[in-house]
Structures are given as C-alpha cells and as structure tokens.
Structure 1
Amino acid sequence: MILRLLITTLLTCLASSVVAGTTPHNETRGFINVLHWWTSPSEAAAVDVLKQHYARSGFAWADQAIVGGGGGKAMTVLKSQIISGNPPHAAQISGMGIQNWASLDLLRHIDGSANRNQWRNVLPQFVLDTVQFRDRYYGIPVGIHRNNWLWINPTAFEDTGLAIPSSWDDLIAIAPRLRRAGFIPLTHGGEPWQQAAIFESVVLSEGGADFYRQALVEHDEEALTSPTMIKVFRKLKQITSLTPNDRSRRPWDQATREIINDEAAVMLMGDWALGEFKMSDQLEGVDFYCRPAFGTEDHFIYNIDSFVIFNRKRFKDRQAQQWLAQQLMNKETQIAFTDKKGSIPVRMDATDQLEGCQKKSLNALNKSIKEGTLVPSIIHGMAVKESLQAPVINFVSSYMSVPTATPEQAVISLSAALLAPAK
C-alpha cells in the first residue's frame, strides 16, 4: 500500500512538471509550443510571466528556448522544423520577418483579436505597421526596446577620479587610465550582432536620423559611400580598441555582468540589459547609470519584440493560439512582462507606472516620434529583410575583428552587400 502510494505521488509530480520543449500535463485544455531565444536569467524571468498569464486561459505554454541572443540559431531551428512539416504553434519573430513569413502563407492572421481589443487605439503607428502584412495583423507585439543605450558603472569613474565621458572621443582619451585601474573601457560580448549594434549607433551619432534612414533603410548608394560613412567606420575602428582584449563570442548578459561586477566602465546595449541589472538588485543612479549612446540623445533606435502563430488545422491548436494573442496583449501582462524584460509596453495605456530607465525610454520614444528621429534597428530585422540583415551583421563583425581592414574598403563592401540584391 505504501509502495503504491509512493509510486502514485511520484507519477503525479512528474506529470505536473513542464520542461522546455516537452508537452504539459493533461489537466490543461491543451498546450501551445513556443519557439524563442530568450534564455538569459532576466529573459527567462520575463518568459515565466508570459507563461503564468497565458495559463489563465486554461492552456499551457511549452517552451522551446534556443540559446543565442541575436536569434540566428532559433531561426535556423525554425526553418528546419518548417521544412520537415512540423512548425511550432508560435514563434518569436521580429520586424520584417513577420511580413516575410506571412507572404509565404505560413502564418495565421489575428485580425479578430486585434480588432476586438482595439489595437489601433492603444498601439503606436510604427508598431501597427510592423505587425501587419497587406492590412492584416500577423504579429503579436509584446514590448518596445531602445537599442541605443549606454550602461555606465559609476565605480569605475569614482575610483579613477575621472569624469563620466560625454562622447566617444572622451572615452577613447581616458581608456588608458581606465585600463591601468583594472577596468575594461567598453565591454561587449563580441558576438557579430553585438558588434553590429555599436555600428548602427555610430551611424546615427555621426550622420543623424535622415542619414541613417538613407543609408540603412533606403540603401542610397551616395549615402553608403559618402565621407560620413567613412567617418563611421573610422570611428568604429577606434571604438574597437576600447573593447576587451579577448573578443571571444560571449552572450550579452555576460558582458552586462562585467558592469555589475565592477570589471568594466561602459557598455552599449539595448534596454534588455536593464532586466539583468534588476535581477541583480542593482539600483539605477547608485549602482549603474543608463544614458543614451553618445551623440544619439534625441534619437531612438527601436526593436519590437513580437510573436507569430503558424497555420494549424486542429481546432484545439487554433483555440490555444487565439488565446495567446489575447493574453499577450492584455494590459496587466504587458506591465508585468516589460518590468522583467526592461522594455516599454507596446500598449500606450500600460505605461503610467514606468519609472527610471523605462520612463526615460518612454519619454525618448515620444520625443523621437514627434521630432522624426525614430529609426528602425538593422540588427534586429526592423530595417531590412533577413537576406540582407545577416550579411551586414557578419561584414561589420569581420571589419571590427580584422585590424588591417580600412574604412575606405569598408564602405565599398557595405554598399555591395546592401545594393547587390537590387541590381
């Protein structure tokens, strides 16, 4: 009797546990398999919020989390699943990827949920434009990130008696003193997308919003080969000298911990980094500062976190997918999720409680919309299709890693990468 009771208890425990990539227990109405690349500690905490809120529908969220901050590995897995005829119920897809997958008739539209919940009344126009294809809604947006943030370790400047820099030239000038004191002047993980993140911020700081759009969105040949773009690559080469001597490819959250652990002075990273600071009980204004990337104070490079749902025939699958759209756009879900993720809610009626860096980001967003200085991120697929995104990221990474590469050679190669598909 005791043995039977123990076995029954063990089976109950096993049945009630949900592991990444597994099917949830049978007490739910069903489950939805979600592919994404949010695997850092703060990202995992943010995903847990989505799971908990989605569970209120009676369905369960089954994780298929793929390690890789830029999402490249996740996209490789997704493509292989689609080719094999077994796509996930839902997947994290950003920017122009939504239009790409929708154009292949692989996605279900979510017009019903979008119209019922009056998305047009609560979402900014640039978010609406991002999640639509041919006037139908295909993307479920969950947060807005600002890419052009600097994260500053005040201890590095207090210990050295140096003023916090206000430009790249300032940081370059004081870098030797920071290194002698044991601080990495500018930390980052060395992954190609992280290197390209520096590139797009420098394009914005050197050329402004109009030049950024001409070069990286419209692919204007004159802008791509201009003296301004040569200045961008020259500055990029100088900035490379500020980064860790060992530029091994590390996840972005490891670089963030170098700020938290007083090993580095400055980091350029989107505000998903804020989640890691919060997870470590760091206080803004005491343990770290968040400031716009040098020269981009009045600009906002945006990246929108979003999901799509794939075509499914089974009624229960479609029902689970419909509830996903409903729950992720819930006002309460948006507030709780973005608190962990570091982003701004896409619902503008869910932003009243924002504080600190998130409030600064919201103010910068509103100002950039009003002044026309809001620009899409190229590294997160907001500005270009995936077929162009990867070559640009890899080229910039290669340029930053090869000491002999010149700015003049770089503008020719960048222009060729962006213009070749059009010729």
Structure 2
Amino acid sequence: MRNRSIFRKSVTIGLSIAAMTAGSAAMAAQNKGTVSVLNWWTSGSEAKSMNVLQQMLANEGYKMVNDAVSGGGGSNARTVLKSRIQSNNLPGAAQIKGPEIQQWCTTGLTMNIDKVAKSQHWSKILPGPVAKGMQCDGHYVAVPFNLHRINWLWINKSVLKKAGAKMPTDWDSLVAALEKLKKAGITPIAGGGDTWQVATEFDAIAIATGGADFYRKAFVDLDPDALSSDTMAKVFKRLRTIEQYEDPNGQGLSWNHDTGLVVQGKAGMQIMGDWAKGEITNDNATPGKQIACMAFPGEHSGFVYNTDSFEMFKSAHSDKSAQYAFARTALSPKFQRKFNMAKGSIPVREGVSLKGFDACAKQSKKDFTAAEKNNALVPSFSQDMAENGAVKGAIFDVIAKFYNNKNMSPEDAAKEMASQAKQAKMMSQT
C-alpha cells in the first residue's frame, strides 16, 4: 500500500511538473514580442483583413496591437503618427505608401528589414515598381500587402436592367445608362462624399480619357503642359457630368456607405477602387455576379494601381523580433491569400494561387499583367502613390474647388491645377 501511495505521489508530482513545463512553454510561445501597428483600416472588411494578420501573428506567439485611426482617407492616421513621434511613442509599423516612404527615411527613424527581404527573396517575388518603392538607398524599410486597382466601375446589374439601361462600353454609353437610371428614380452614382472620393473618381476618368502616357506626364512628371492641356480640361468636364448624377445630399457619406447603396439597389453605380469588393462581400453579394465590375470606360485602357504598405520604425514600444515577424508574415503565401480575399485586392506576391478569388480579382490580375507589359501601369495620384503629400494636397484642392464651384470652367480648373502643382512642388523642395 505504501509503495502505491509513493507511486501515486510520484505520478502527481510528475504531472504537476509536466503541466508547469507545458504552461511555461505556452507562456513563452505567447510572449515572443509585441508590435504596434498604426493604420486607417476601420471599415468592416478592412478590420476583418487586419484580424487575419493579428491572428496569424498570435499563432506564432506575437502580439499585434492594432492602432486603427478612422477618417480622412489616412490623413488622420498621419496626424497621429506625427504626434506619436513628438511624444517618443513610435509605432513598430505604420501604414505609409508611395513617395512618402522615402520621405520618412530622411528622419533616421525607419528600420532596415533587409534580413526579411533576403530570406523571402523579395526582389524576385515582387513586381519591379513595387519592390523599388519599398526601399530607401537600396535597403528595404517597408513591406507591401497587396495590389489594388483604382479605376473600377461597380454596377448593380438588376438595377441597371430595371431601368432599361445597357452595360456601358464607352463614355457615351455610360452617360446614357446614367440618364436612364436617373429617369427611373434611382441615384445613378453613389459618391462625392469627401475630397478623396472625388479625387478617386477623377483618377479613373483621367486614365480612361487621356491614357497612361498622359496620366504619367500629368501626375507623375507634373508636366505643366499636360496638367493645363485640353485633355485635362476634358477630364474636368467629365467629372462635372458625373457630379450631376450623384446625390447632392451625399456630402460627408463614407465610401463604404456608398458601396452599400449600390449593393442594396438604392444606387446604380460607384467609381471606387477594388477595396469596395470587401464591402460587397460583407453585404452578401458576389463581385462579378450581382455587382458587375469593369474598368472605368473611356477612349483608353490602363491600370491605376495602389499598394498598401507598412513602413517599419525604430520603436521602443515594439520588439524587433515581432517587427520582423510582421513583415515576414505579410508576404507569406498563406497571408497573401487570406488577406487579399478579405480586402478585395489581389496578392502583391507573385505565384500566389487565385483559386477561390472572385471573377473581378482574376480580371484585375490579368489586366495588371497586360498593363505592366504594355507600359500602361501607373501609380495612383489619389492614393498617395504618385507624388508627395504637398503636391497631392494641391491637386486635391483644385479638384474640390471645381467640384463645389459650378461657375468654375474646366479650362480654368486645368490651368489652376498646373499652377498649384508647380507651386507645391517648389515649396516641398525648399
């Protein structure tokens, strides 16, 4: 009996030690490090997308603090970033993209992530323009998450049919469809809620009206002749036409609210990047089925792209190991599939299967590949991909002024855009 008692005690002690050891291992796995991530993804589909990353990092034992800031198309998040720098509370990663990535490098606050880039062969798995945009002086400081197409037109098929309108194939047939929707008592286009949404519409109109070469000269090179040209005046004129088919009481409404109007059949169309797909799916509709997708129609084709990316910072409040894990996980095939299916974008990493992605995503990938081959791939000015914040702000101001002032002519708007862009560029270089 005594031997049995000793045996039982030994087993109990052994199990206790095993449990403590397992518990310690679990705790260690759960406390590998923390990374704070500043971003502006707050809509339903965007938050869902970030949850994917948060969970994948948690599975590896890292904690991701999701510091999401709503409003302003990212401007509010940028303000928060600047205030956190002043209070010595830098995030481990912040949502930054386009030329702004290189601007932040001059502060000396960014973190080199070449270690991760080399281990995953970023130079081979990323499109050339994207890989270049993630670097400063040849070193990686940012990680891309996706590829978005900006120049999409979303159409509720049943609403269009109900109004007796046909699917547009060019500018004239688009206007004809909008007119029929209006006569049927349906808001033709959901949009115009704030300046960045109007600029996104302008983005789509510009590539369709002038083509990739014109777009590049105007918004990447800031060529004054292109900015003040008859073609640019035509873009403004078409924006005015679009405005006439939008809800005059739509000021202040969010882009995802507008997407909801299209899905619910309260509006016929929306001009918006393919992040709208995430909201379409959230509303139990399928992009490419109930809601048609097409490149915004005009005389020219092209692909206006946006890459959501996160720049890494030297942060006392984030662990370097967790920051590396953040960057590594973001470009893992598993995350690229899960995240982009939720976000509405397509994987930025080459070679990721699109099985299970919707028809619009597959069309986007096909068009991206063709545009890259035909030099019709351009970075979006409205989504911070083409110019610095000062220049973009100047262009936005002119677009907003024109949109809100019915007495301003398209020709005057084009001339003012050239003037303001030139001045903003000079000021940013001093």
| TM-score, normalisation: structure 1 | 0.90
CA distance in 1, matches of 2:299, 2:314: 41
CA deviations on 1:82-129 (whole Å, 9 max, x unpaired) are 122211121111111111111221110100100111111111101101
Q: Which amino acid aligns with 2:56?
A: H
Q: In the TM superposition, what is the alpha-carbon distance from 1:313 to its structure 2 partner?
A: 5.0
Pair 27,116 (structure 1): closer, same or farther in 2 beyond 3 Å: closer
Asked if 2 retains the 8 angstrom alpha-carbon contact of 1:54 and 1:328, the reply is no
Which residue of structure 2 aligns with residue 140 of structure 1? 143
Matched, 1:199 2:207: no
Asked if 2 retains the 8 angstrom alpha-carbon contact of 1:182 and 1:263, the reply is no
CA deviations on 1:169-224 (whole Å, 9 max, x unpaired) are 33333434312323111111521111001112212112111011111110111111
Pair 108,261 (structure 1): closer, same or farther in 2 beyond 3 Å: same
Asked if 1 retains the 8 angstrom alpha-carbon contact of 2:150 and 2:203, the reply is no
CA distance in 1, matches of 2:103, 2:166: 47
Which residue of structure 1 aligns with residue 79 of structure 2? 76
Pair 325,296 (structure 1): closer, same or farther in 2 beyond 3 Å: farther
Which residue of structure 2 aligns with residue 106 of structure 1? 109
CA distance in 1, matches of 2:69, 2:425: 33
CA distance in 2, matches of 1:69, 1:293: 24
How many residues align? The count is: 398
Which residue of structure 1 aligns with residue 273 of structure 2? 270
Asked if 2 retains the 8 angstrom alpha-carbon contact of 1:201 and 1:296, the reply is no
Q: In the TM superposition, what is the alpha-carbon distance from 1:147 to its structure 2 partner?
A: 0.3
Q: Which amino acid aligns with 1:129?
A: K
CA distance in 2, matches of 1:91, 1:344: 21
Q: In the TM superposition, what is the alpha-carbon distance from 1:290 to its structure 2 partner?
A: 0.7
Matched, 1:261 2:234: no
CA distance in 1, matches of 2:382, 2:206: 13
Matched, 1:344 2:342: no
Q: Which amino acid aligns with 1:311?
A: K
Q: Which amino acid aligns with 1:237?
A: R
CA distance in 1, matches of 2:290, 2:358: 16
Which residue of structure 2 aligns with residue 391 of structure 1? 394
Which one of 156, 176, 180 corresponds to residue 177 of structure 1?
180
Which residue of structure 1 aligns with residue 19 of structure 2? none
User: Superposed, which structure 2 residues align to 1:310-389 within 5 Å?
Assistant: 310-312=313-315, 317-353=319-355, 354-389=357-392
Pair 352,284 (structure 1): closer, same or farther in 2 beyond 3 Å: closer
CA distance in 2, matches of 1:126, 1:199: 23
Bigger radius of gyration: 2
Pair 156,352 (structure 1): closer, same or farther in 2 beyond 3 Å: closer
Pair 270,359 (structure 1): closer, same or farther in 2 beyond 3 Å: same
Asked if 2 retains the 8 angstrom alpha-carbon contact of 1:344 and 1:351, the reply is no
CA distance in 2, matches of 1:265, 1:297: 23
Q: In the TM superposition, what is the alpha-carbon distance from 1:227 to its structure 2 partner?
A: 1.3
Asked if 2 retains the 8 angstrom alpha-carbon contact of 1:171 and 1:185, the reply is no
Q: In the TM superposition, what is the alpha-carbon distance from 1:309 to its structure 2 partner?
A: 1.4
CA distance in 2, matches of 1:393, 1:50: 32
Asked if 1 retains the 8 angstrom alpha-carbon contact of 2:260 and 2:283, the reply is no
User: Superposed, which structure 2 residues align to 1:194-343 within 5 Å?
Assistant: 194-295=197-298, 298-312=301-315, 317-343=319-345
Which residue of structure 2 aligns with residue 60 of structure 1? 63
CA deviations on 1:396-421 (whole Å, 9 max, x unpaired) are 12211211111121012101121114
CA distance in 2, matches of 1:184, 1:220: 37
Which residue of structure 2 aligns with residue 89 of structure 1? 92
| TM-score, normalisation: structure 2 | 0.89
CA deviations on 1:318-374 (whole Å, 9 max, x unpaired) are 121111111111110111000000111111111342441111000000000000000
CA distance in 2, matches of 1:163, 1:379: 29
The gaps in structure 1 that reach 5 residues or longer are 1-24
Q: Please identify, of 164-173 and 110-119, the stretch whose mean Cα deviation from structure 2 is larger.
A: 164-173
CA distance in 2, matches of 1:309, 1:379: 23
Q: Which amino acid aligns with 2:101?
A: I
Which residue of structure 1 aligns with residue 131 of structure 2? 128
CA distance in 1, matches of 2:70, 2:307: 19
Pair 112,26 (structure 1): closer, same or farther in 2 beyond 3 Å: closer
CA distance in 1, matches of 2:155, 2:281: 15
Which residue of structure 1 aligns with residue 166 of structure 2? 163
CA distance in 1, matches of 2:299, 2:376: 9
Which residue of structure 2 aligns with residue 417 of structure 1? 420
Pair 338,305 (structure 1): closer, same or farther in 2 beyond 3 Å: same
CA distance in 2, matches of 1:168, 1:242: 14
Would you identify which runs of 4 or more consecutive aligned residues in structure 1 move more than 4 Å?
none
Asked if 2 retains the 8 angstrom alpha-carbon contact of 1:140 and 1:307, the reply is yes
Q: Which amino acid aligns with 1:373?
A: A
Q: In the TM superposition, what is the alpha-carbon distance from 1:295 to its structure 2 partner?
A: 2.1
Q: Which amino acid aligns with 1:103?
A: T
Q: Which amino acid aligns with 2:257?
A: Q
Q: Please identify, of 119-128 and 28-37, the stretch whose mean Cα deviation from structure 2 is larger.
A: 28-37
